[in-house]
Amino acid sequence: FPSGYNDGPKNGYNNGYNSGYNNGHNGGYNNGHGSRGYGMISNLDYRFYDRSCPRLQMMVKSGVWRAFKDDSRIAASLLRLHFHDCFVNGCDGSILLDDSEDFKGEKNALPNRNSVRGFDVIEDIKTDIESVCPLTVSCADIVALAAREAVVLTGGPFWPVPLGRRDSLTASEQAANTNLPSPFEPLENITAKFVSLGLDFKDVVVLSGAHTIGFAQCFVFKHRLFNFKGSGQPDPNLAASSDLLSKLTDTCPNVDSSNSNLAPLDAASVVKFDNAYYVNLMNNVGLLDSDQILMSDSNAAALVKSYSESPYLFSRDFAVSMVKMGNIGVMTGSDGVIRARCGFPG
Ligand code: HEM
Ligand SMILES: [Ca+2]
Ligand SMILES: [Ca+2]
């Protein structure tokens, strides 16, 4: 990676943050082999808290399990929380900051408002950890570990999480609105957003597999059900599966009041972290336009096919891509802070 990758400026954090970010990185379309693996260049360290907070990982694990007992969707929500943190100013806990009178952060940015969940779970875990290891563990690291636990808890792969991220003092509503991929935009745009953060095309396909768990609100896919691209008809991909189409129109009748109703992203196994997401795409029953659209690109479709055939391949590649995502724009050393509470910068 270019120098400067890991040392985000302390002051004026957002100014020019992305400049030079991607120089020299492998741009765009490749098959992802080579330059992948756990050996990424990063200042993070698997053993960062071994001495300062030896029970950290156990505490995160039990906090996630506790929350999961009452709400199995929380696993999906915690995984998405890490993604929405890392894609906006790097994995720095920025998404966790509460709005105040003179500060508007990311929580209420368009992709997050009434959509991202799990803040209270992270805050509860942080409170536990503060009682044992005060001002030691960053919120960004807790989110990264919680995302891993969420995947393990739902039957997905375990991977060691490199640690030592520092928390931001600020957040950017605007960056959240522009950096996070939207389910309404074409694959090229989504890919460009990943590439601008040092990820690649394979990561788009692999990380989209996170949609093997969790839910989406009707308004993000409703345009596929009734009047796709002005045709007055459902998306032909969905129409081919009358079974799914009728379930979705039951959940999401064509009235505004259904907009926040929920449908499983992977109807085959909504709380199981498996490769069914890719099997769905092969069968044209992906829920989001941005999911099914992967099949319209021959490189992506080839990866989808191989993951649909091999859960092991998917598990392995997902773990690798999650470590990559967890490295985006991290602050280490004396940059940033360790927050006392995740919702407040101080
Ligand atoms: C590739 C571009 C992506 C797009 C366009 C996208 C879009 C979305 C949308 C629209 C939702 C539903 C939100 C709602 O209805 O409130 C969602 C849910 C979700 N996304 Fe993504 N996503 C993408 C990539 C990712 C990645 C990289 C991850 C994690 C590694 C992820 C994890 C999730 C999870 C787990 C949920 C379910 C959350 C829950 O049930 O609380 N997504 N995504
Ligand atoms: Ca962030
Ligand atoms: Ca699944």
Collapsing DSSP states into helix, strand and coil, what is residue 86?
helix
The ipTM of this complex is 0.99
Share of the chain above pLDDT 70, in %: 88
Q: Is the pLDDT of residue 162 over 80?
A: yes
Query: Mean pLDDT lowest for which of 24-28, 107-111, 118-122, 293-297?
Result: 24-28
Where residue 5 falls among pLDDT bands split at 50, 70, 90?
very low
344, amino acid identity: F
Residues in contact with 162: Cβ distance below 8 Å, sequence separation at least 6, in sequence order: 42, 44, 45, 46, 48, 323, 326, 327
Residue 53 beta carbon below 6 angstroms from any ligand 1 atom: no
**Residue 25 known to be catalytic:** no
Q: State mean pLDDT over 249-277.
A: 98
Residue 308 beta carbon below 6 angstroms from any ligand 1 atom: no
pLDDT digits (tens, 9 = 90+) for 212-234: 999 999 999 999 999 999 999 99
How far is C-alpha 78 from the chain's CA centre? 8
Of 163, 89, 170, the C-alpha closest to 133 is: 163
Which pTM does this prediction carry? 0.90
**CATH 3.40.50.1970 given to domain 204-319:** no
Query: Residues lining ligand 3 (ion), CB within 5 A?
Result: 212, 266, 269, 272, 274, 276
pLDDT digits (tens, 9 = 90+) for 19-76: 333 333 333 333 333 334 444 457 899 999 999 999 999 999 999 999 999 999 999 9
Query: Residues lining ligand 2 (ion), CB within 5 A?
Result: 85, 88-89, 92, 94
Cα distances (Å, whole numbers) of residue 256 to 217, 223, 239, 298? 12, 12, 22, 36
Question: In whole angstroms, what is the distance from residue 108 CA to residue 129 CA?
Answer: 27
50, amino acid identity: D
33 has binding-site annotation: no
